[in-house]
Chains A and B, each alone.
Chain A
Amino acid sequence: MAAPPLTTEAAGSASAPAGQSPWRLVGGRLRRDPAALAGLAIIALFVLMAIAAPLLTALNGHGPNEFHPEKIDKALAGAPKGAFGGIDGDFWLGVEPGTGRDVFSRMVYGARVSLLISVAATGVATVVGTVLGLTAGFAGGRIDTFISRIMDMVLSFPQLIFMIALVSVLPEGNRMLELVFVMGFFGWPYIGRIVRGQTLTLRHREFVDAARATGMLRTRIVFREVLPNLLAPVLVYATLTIPINIGTEAALSFLGIGVRPPDSSWGQMMSKAIDWYQVDPTFFVVPGVCLLLTVLAFTLLGDAFRDALDPRGAGR
């Protein structure tokens, strides 16, 4: 079958790149956005670091939980020997005060914990939020009212206090898993609200009406027609949720109810640093800079996604 010939007028005014899928368009926009590329590069760096943690620590020869009493000064209550928290050719980022554990090794292993927990918690929040938001928006009526009320309710909880309280009373178990679910539990309503709103507008759009008119099943409509259109806002919001969760995990660990020792996370390192920051500022700068960079990178990427997915073009 031959395509119908283009009329001269249409050929003259057709400036839209034909045959380009919206996702490729977005990819093209992202490639030209320096902020997005910078964000992506930083994220890639930290992810690689987390994956290669055993390799990296093999390289410097110190496990994350090896004590090095020779590196700390007992007379100074355990402050690291040497300038800048004991940085030297052997201990690239110095040692932990009090124990002499290698800061670099703890940092790369901490990256594993911080990234894993925050990404997993975002995943939980995104899945739950999308499913419930979609259900509320598509079912409408009482189901919608019920789900919306629950979302409002969860949002009016003093979240940090409840997270601390919940984690502290949960039975002993896998602390990382507990953190993921507690953070996911308080995170889903944000995404749920957005998905519900989007679903409500999509529900009455022509292509959904058309699908309904052809007798398509409800579930099929949801999966074939509605869900693909929710992908963009969900992706943007999920990307912007990751840095928030990194911060929350760090805050919880900072308050002493995050990962259990001897596991390290950036927040846990921060929490140790508070007792030492006046003597050994290097020790809080390392995890602080890691947190700053990852949060910044995810925010840049999320913003770039939003701008790139904005059908109005350049955005801003």
Chain B
Amino acid sequence: MIRYLALRFAGLAGVLLVICAVTFTIFYVFPADPALQACGKSCTPERLAMLHHQMGLDRPLWQQFTDYLVGIFAGRSYGSGPLAVQCHFPCLGFSYQNNMPVWDLMMQRLPTTVSIGVGAALLWLVGGVTVGVVSALRKDSLLDRTMMVGTLTSASLPIYFTAMALTVVVVQIGGLLPYSSYVPIAEDPIGWTKNLILPWVALALLYAAMYARLSRASMVETMAEPYIRTARAKGLPERTVVTKHGLRAGLTPVLTVFGMDLGALLGGAVITESVFGLPGLGQLTIDSINKSDQPVVMGVALLAAFFITFANLVVDLLYAAIDPQVRYA
């Protein structure tokens, strides 16, 4: 078990290292000289050279990369002498746009993204699984068919379309909710909820449809298993057969997908944030890409990759806890 965990964490570190290297290559090798951009209009060769030194761009590429890596775990300083700037752990560099530490920028945005992601995830998990399970138990009934046509349509709707349609109907015509903006939960929990309902619903409609289809397929398969017949042969009430014996096995695949989806979403719900104008990690990514702010883009990409790989790990561990047939190997 401990060996397995150690191996998995090593694997996680390996993946992140590769992603780091790839990101580094993409953003530091391809584009124009970032120092030139930082230098501005009144740029002199001396000033450019100084900026190069300050940003560590005069060092060989591989050294820049190791500096970057060391910075993440131990912090680092940019430049030397009196102009040196200290960047504390976990150092991902400074934004070219406003010289803020990338880590701080991301932590400012993270609560918004987490609020959107976790709220929507709860909504779609409960909604999607309920629809899927009911559909599976009433397989081939009118209700089942109706719900499956509904989920298929809902899954085919582009998220920005849903978002705009919801806003027009609920906010503009209905006047039921305010136009979305972000209010910290600690300041105003009711306002926080009101502002996030539409993003939650928009995301949940998309994901819930996929979860309904997935859990339906999985439950249909599970309920045909011989051990379900055994449970019925024991005389268990159908409710117990479904909830205790059916759901336990039937929802395990849903869990895997859920972990991955939530992990991916925490890296930034790029489109949802963009449509509703919510200042989360996704918005930060888009802004930084448009402004060629490489340190920020790299930071966000790494954080997102971390969420995905970490979610993967958590899911595998949970899987092993649920299904005793899964061995740590």
Residues of A with Cβ closer than 8 Å to B? 152-153, 156-158, 160-162, 164-166, 168-171, 243, 247, 250-251, 254-257, 270, 273-274, 277-278, 281, 284-285, 288, 291-292, 295-296, 299-300, 316
The interface residues of chain A lying within 8 Å CB-to-CB of B307 are: 158
The interface residues of chain B lying within 8 Å CB-to-CB of A278 are: 167-168, 172
The answer to whether A255 touches B286, judged by C-beta atoms less than 8 angstroms apart, is: yes
The answer to whether A162 touches B161, judged by C-beta atoms less than 8 angstroms apart, is: no
The answer to whether A161 touches B301, judged by C-beta atoms less than 8 angstroms apart, is: yes
The minimal Cβ–Cβ distance linking B21 to chain A, given in whole angstroms, is: 11
Interface string of B276-292 (1 = CB under 8 A from A): 00000000011001101
The interface residues of chain A lying within 8 Å CB-to-CB of B157 are: 288, 292
The answer to whether A168 touches B289, judged by C-beta atoms less than 8 angstroms apart, is: yes
The interface residues of chain B lying within 8 Å CB-to-CB of A277 are: 164, 167-168
Interface string of B158-169 (1 = CB under 8 A from A): 101100110110
Beyond the given pairs A156-B308, A162-B26, 11 more chain A to chain B contacts, judged by CB atoms under 8 angstroms and listed by A's residue number, are A153-B19, A156-B15, A158-B268, A162-B301, A164-B270, A166-B26, A169-B30, A255-B271, A277-B167, A278-B167, A292-B153
Contact residues of B: prevailing secondary structure: helix
The interface residues of chain A lying within 8 Å CB-to-CB of B220 are: 316
A243–B152 CA distance with the chains assembled, in angstroms? 12
The answer to whether B19 touches A156, judged by C-beta atoms less than 8 angstroms apart, is: yes
Residue B97 interfacial (CB < 8 Å): no
Residue B77 interfacial (CB < 8 Å): no
Q: Which of B161, B168, B172 contacts A292 (CB 8 A)?
A: B161
The interface residues of chain B lying within 8 Å CB-to-CB of A270 are: 158, 160-161
The minimal Cβ–Cβ distance linking B149 to chain A, given in whole angstroms, is: 9
10 nearest CB pairs, A to B: A158-B304, A288-B161, A295-B156, A296-B156, A169-B30, A277-B164, A158-B267, A156-B309, A168-B289, A291-B158
Query: What are 30 A-to-B residue pairs whose CB atoms are below 8 Å?
Result: A153-B18, A156-B305, A157-B19, A157-B308, A158-B304, A158-B305, A161-B267, A161-B301, A161-B304, A162-B26, A165-B23, A168-B289, A168-B290, A169-B27, A171-B30, A254-B271, A270-B160, A270-B161, A274-B164, A274-B275, A277-B164, A277-B168, A278-B168, A278-B172, A284-B161, A284-B164, A288-B157, A291-B156, A296-B152, A300-B152
A247–B160 CA distance with the chains assembled, in angstroms? 11
The answer to whether A160 touches B270, judged by C-beta atoms less than 8 angstroms apart, is: yes
Contact residues of A: prevailing secondary structure: helix
The answer to whether B267 touches A156, judged by C-beta atoms less than 8 angstroms apart, is: no
Residue B312 interfacial (CB < 8 Å): yes
The minimal Cβ–Cβ distance linking B281 to chain A, given in whole angstroms, is: 9
Interface string of B283-322 (1 = CB under 8 A from A): 0011001101000010011001101110010000000000
In B37-81, the 8 Å CB interface with A consists of: none
The interface residues of chain B lying within 8 Å CB-to-CB of A274 are: 160, 164, 275
The minimal Cβ–Cβ distance linking A291 to chain B, given in whole angstroms, is: 5
Nearest chain-A residue to B172 (Cβ)? A278
Nearest chain-A residue to B271 (Cβ)? A251
The interface residues of chain B lying within 8 Å CB-to-CB of A257 are: 289
The answer to whether A165 touches B27, judged by C-beta atoms less than 8 angstroms apart, is: yes
The minimal Cβ–Cβ distance linking A247 to chain B, given in whole angstroms, is: 6
Residue B235 interfacial (CB < 8 Å): no
Residue B155 interfacial (CB < 8 Å): yes
A59–B2 CA distance with the chains assembled, in angstroms? 71
A223–B197 CA distance with the chains assembled, in angstroms? 54
The interface residues of chain B lying within 8 Å CB-to-CB of A256 are: 290
The interface residues of chain A lying within 8 Å CB-to-CB of B152 are: 296, 299-300
The interface residues of chain B lying within 8 Å CB-to-CB of A166 are: 26
The answer to whether A255 and B26 touch (CB under 8 A), given A274-B164, A292-B153, is no
A285–B22 CA distance with the chains assembled, in angstroms? 39
A299–B271 CA distance with the chains assembled, in angstroms? 22
A291–B206 CA distance with the chains assembled, in angstroms? 14
A291–B161 CA distance with the chains assembled, in angstroms? 9
Nearest chain-A residue to B32 (Cβ)? A169
The answer to whether A161 and B268 touch (CB under 8 A), given A156-B15, A169-B30, is yes
The answer to whether A157 and B305 touch (CB under 8 A), given A270-B161, A284-B164, is yes
The interface residues of chain B lying within 8 Å CB-to-CB of A153 are: 15, 18-19
The interface residues of chain A lying within 8 Å CB-to-CB of B285 are: 161, 164
The interface residues of chain A lying within 8 Å CB-to-CB of B160 are: 251, 254, 270, 274
Residue B264 interfacial (CB < 8 Å): yes
Interface string of B21-36 (1 = CB under 8 A from A): 0110011001100000
The interface residues of chain B lying within 8 Å CB-to-CB of A250 are: 158
A156–B13 CA distance with the chains assembled, in angstroms? 12
The interface residues of chain A lying within 8 Å CB-to-CB of B301 are: 158, 161-162, 165
Residue B130 interfacial (CB < 8 Å): no
The interface residues of chain B lying within 8 Å CB-to-CB of A157 are: 19, 22, 305, 308
The interface residues of chain A lying within 8 Å CB-to-CB of B156 are: 243, 291-292, 295-296, 299
A299–B209 CA distance with the chains assembled, in angstroms? 13
The minimal Cβ–Cβ distance linking A84 to chain B, given in whole angstroms, is: 13
The interface residues of chain B lying within 8 Å CB-to-CB of A170 are: 30
